Amino acid sequence: MAETKDLLMLENFIGGQFLPCHSYIDSYDPSTGEVYCKVPNSGKDEIEAAVVAAREAFPDWSSQSPEKRAQVLNRLADLLEQFLEELAQAESKDQGKTLTLARTMDIPRSVQNFRFFASSILHHTTECTHMDHLGCLHYTMRTPVGIAGLISPWNLPLYLLTWKIAPAIAAGNTVIAKPSELTSVTAWMFCKLLDKAGVPPGVVNVVFGTGPRVGEALVCHPEVPLISFTGSQPTAERITQLSAPHCKKLSLELGGKNPAIIFEDANLEECIPATVRSSFANQGEICLCTSRIFVQKSIYHEFLKRFVEATRNWKVGIPSDPSASMGALISKLHLEKVRSYVKKARAEGAQILCGEGVDTLSLPPKNQAGYFMLPTVITDIRDESCCMKEEIFGPVTCVVPFESEEEVIKRANNVEYGLAATVWSSDVGRIHRVAKKLQSGLIWTNCWLIRELNLPFGGMKHSGIGREGAKDSYNFFTEIKTITVKH
Residues catalogued as catalytic: 253, 287
How many Cβ atoms from other residues are within 10 Å of residue 482's Cβ?
A: 11
CA-CA-CA-CA torsion sign (439, 445, 448, 451): negative
Q: Which of 299, 363, 300, 371 is nearest to 339 (CA)?
A: 371
The H-or-E segment that residue 28 falls in is: strand 24-29
Q: Which of 223, 226, 92 is nearest to 151 (CA)?
A: 226
Q: At what angle do helices 84-95 and 157-170 cross, to 10 degrees?
A: 120
363 φ/ψ angles, rounded to the nearest 5 degrees? -135, 155
Nearest-angstrom CA–CA distance, 402 and 336 = 31
DSSP class of residue 396? E
- Beta-bridge partner residues of 38: 9, 26
142 φ/ψ angles, rounded to the nearest 5 degrees? -115, 135
Nearest-angstrom CA–CA distance, 241 and 336 = 29
Nearest-angstrom CA–CA distance, 161 and 350 = 38
Edge-first strand order for the sheet with 174-178 is: 17-19, 12-14, 204-206, 174-178, 147-151, 226-230, 249-253, 464-465
